[in-house]
Amino acid sequence: MNHKDGFVGFRDDLAATYRKAGFWQGRTLGAVLRDAAAQWPTSTAIKSDDGDLTYREVDEAADRMASGLIALGIEPGDRVVVQLPNTTEFVPTLFGLLRAGAIPVLCLPAHRALEIGHLAELSGAVGYVIPDSAAGFDYRELAETVRARVPSLAHVLVLGEPGPFTALDTVPREPTTLPDLDPSDIALLLVSGGTTGVPKLIPRTHDDYVYNATASARVCELTNDDVYLVTLPAAHNFPLACPGILGTLSVGGAVTFVADPSPENAFATIERHGVTVTAVVPPLAQLWCVATDWEDANLETLRLLQVGGAKLAESNAREVRPQLGATLQQVFGMAEGLLNYTRLDDSDDIVATTQGRPLSPADEVRVVDADGSPVPTGTEGELTTRGPYTIRGYYRAEEHNVRAITSDGFYRSGDLVTQLPSGHLMVTGRIKDVINRGGENVSCDELEEHLLAHPAVRHAAAVGIPDDSLGEKICAALVVVDAMPSLAEFKSFLTDRGLAPYKLPDSLYRLESLPITAVGKIDKRALAAQIAG
Ligand code: OOB
Do residues 43 and 59 touch, judged by C-beta distance below 8 A? no
- Provide, rounded to the nearest whole percent, the portion of the chain with pLDDT above 70: 98
What is the pTM assigned to this prediction?
0.91
Task: Give pLDDT, residue 440.
Answer: 78
CA of 338 to the centre of ligand 1 (A): 10
Do residues 109 and 82 touch, judged by C-beta distance below 8 A? no
Q: Which atom, in ligand 1's list, is nearest to the CA of 383?
A: 10
The values of phi and psi at residue 522, to 5°, are: -65, 130
DSSP line for 369-409 = -TTSPBPPTTS-EEEEEE-TTS-SS-TT-HHHHHHHB-TTS
CA of 413 to the centre of ligand 1 (A): 10
CA of 187 to the centre of ligand 1 (A): 21
Mutate to test the pocket of ligand 1, among 332, 359, 367 (most ligand atoms within 8 A of CB): 332
* Euclidean distance between CA atoms 321 and 400, whole angstroms: 42
CA of 180 to the centre of ligand 1 (A): 34
pLDDT at 90 over 80: yes
Task: Give pLDDT, residue 193.
Answer: 73
**Worst-scoring range by mean pLDDT, 41-55, 210-224, 437-451?**
437-451
Do β-strands 327-334 and 337-341 pair in parallel, antiparallel, or remain unpaired?
Answer: antiparallel
pLDDT-based confidence at 196, cuts 50/70/90? very low
Binding site membership of 335 for ligand 1 (Cβ less than 6 Å): yes
Sequence-distant (6+) residues with CB within 8 A of 95 are: 29, 30, 33, 58, 62, 65, 66
Nearest CA to ligand 1 atom 14: 309
Binding site membership of 333 for ligand 1 (Cβ less than 6 Å): yes
Q: Which residues pair with 137 in a beta bridge?
A: 134
Q: Which atom, in ligand 1's list, is nearest to the CA of 193?
A: 5
3-state secondary structure of 274: coil
Burial class (CB within 10 angstroms; exposed 0-12, middle 13-18, buried 19+) of 482? exposed
pLDDT-based confidence at 500, cuts 50/70/90? confident
**Worst-scoring range by mean pLDDT, 161-170, 320-329, 405-414, 496-505?**
496-505
DSSP character at residue 483: S
Digit-coded pLDDT (tens) for 101-124: 999 999 999 899 988 999 999 999
pLDDT-based confidence at 30, cuts 50/70/90? very high
* Helix intervals (H) in 40-112: 55-72, 90-100
Task: Give pLDDT, residue 197.
Answer: 57
- C-beta neighbour count of 383 within 10 angstroms: 25
The kind and range of the H/E element at 50 are none
Mutate to test the pocket of ligand 1, among 201, 236, 334 (most ligand atoms within 8 A of CB): 334
* Euclidean distance between CA atoms 273 and 256, whole angstroms: 8
Q: From residue 445, give the alpha-carbon distance in Å to each of 180, 285, 317, 527.
A: 47, 17, 15, 15
3-state secondary structure of 412: strand
3-state secondary structure of 440: strand
- C-beta neighbour count of 1 within 10 angstroms: 12
CA of 492 to the centre of ligand 1 (A): 32
Identity of residue 408: D
Residue positions counted in the chain: 533
**Mean pLDDT in the chain?**
95
Task: Give pLDDT, residue 417.
Answer: 97
pLDDT at 60 over 70: yes
Digit-coded pLDDT (tens) for 257-288: 999 999 999 999 999 999 999 999 998 999 99
> Taking Cα atoms as reference points, which of 472, 460, 482 lies closest to residue 506?
472
Binding site membership of 311 for ligand 1 (Cβ less than 6 Å): yes
Identity of residue 515: P
CA of 457 to the centre of ligand 1 (A): 23
Nearest CA to ligand 1 atom 20: 310
The values of phi and psi at residue 199, to 5°, are: -65, 150
CA of 420 to the centre of ligand 1 (A): 19
Q: Which atom, in ligand 1's list, is nearest to the CA of 413?
A: 10
Digit-coded pLDDT (tens) for 433-473: 888 887 777 889 889 989 999 999 999 999 999 888 888 99
pLDDT-based confidence at 194, cuts 50/70/90? low
Binding site membership of 282 for ligand 1 (Cβ less than 6 Å): no
* Euclidean distance between CA atoms 157 and 65, whole angstroms: 12
* Euclidean distance between CA atoms 34 and 520, whole angstroms: 33
CA of 342 to the centre of ligand 1 (A): 14
pLDDT at 2 over 50: no
CA of 445 to the centre of ligand 1 (A): 14
Binding site membership of 334 for ligand 1 (Cβ less than 6 Å): yes
pLDDT at 319 over 90: yes
Nearest CA to ligand 1 atom 7: 334
The values of phi and psi at residue 519, to 5°, are: -105, 0
CA of 114 to the centre of ligand 1 (A): 23
* Euclidean distance between CA atoms 66 and 315, whole angstroms: 47
Task: Give pLDDT, residue 1.
Answer: 40
